[in-house]
Amino acid sequence: MKRAAAQDAPVALRFAPELARADGWGRLTELTATSAGVSTMTKISRREKIFLSFELAGERFRDLPAEVLWVETDADGYNAAELRFLDQVESRRLSTVLLDALSR
């Protein structure tokens, strides 16, 4: 079951403190319980660990750890990436919220 929203949801990107990188932002192009598609101007690379924060159906998800599976640059210079969530507990919560939103 798949549904599209009117607009891509915004997402904040945070990096591990030891990297001393400024936070970034972008949009979620796709969201599942275990993975996310992101479009962002922020430079990211494969296998990098990033913390995602976003909102879905009124529920806040803060600093979900995710690993970059692949990334490529589109025609506008944005990075389109697919990330895999690493926190199973939060994935489960996301799964519940997704199912609730999809079934409405």
Partner 1 sequence: MATIALVCRDDSDRERLALMAGESGHLVHGAGRLADAVELIGEFSPRLMLVVDAPNQDAEVLVRELLRVSPLTPVVVALKVRDASRAVRLMRTGAAEVVSAPWTREALQAGLAKAGRLPGTVYTLTRTPPKRPTAAVYAFAALAFFAAAFGTMSVKRHEAQVKAEAATRYYWDLPSAHPASLAFDEGRLWVADWFTQSLYAYDPANMAIKRIVHFPDQTPIALAFGADSVWTASAFGGVSRRMKDDSLTAVENYDRAAQNTLGIAFDGLYLWTLDSKEHRIHKHLVDSELSEIASYKYPGVSPVAIVYDGRTLWSLDSANHELVRHNLERPDEAVERISLPEYKDGRHRPVGLAWDGEHFWTVGEPIPKDIGPARVYRHLIWGLK
| Interaction site with partner 1 (CB under 8 A) | 1-2, 6-8, 10-14, 22-25, 27, 32-35, 39, 41, 53-55, 75-78, 84, 91-92, 95-96, 98-99, 102-103
Which one, 35 or 37, has the nearer CB to partner 1?
35
Helix/strand number for the chain, H first, E second: 1, 6
Specify whether the CB–CB gap between 65 and 15 falls below 8 A.
no
Say how far apart CA 77 and CA 81 lie, in whole Å.
13
To partner 1, the closest distance from the beta carbon of 104 in angstroms equals 10
Which one, 32 or 48, has the nearer CB to partner 1?
32
| Through-space distance between the first and last CA atoms of the chain, rounded to whole angstroms | 12
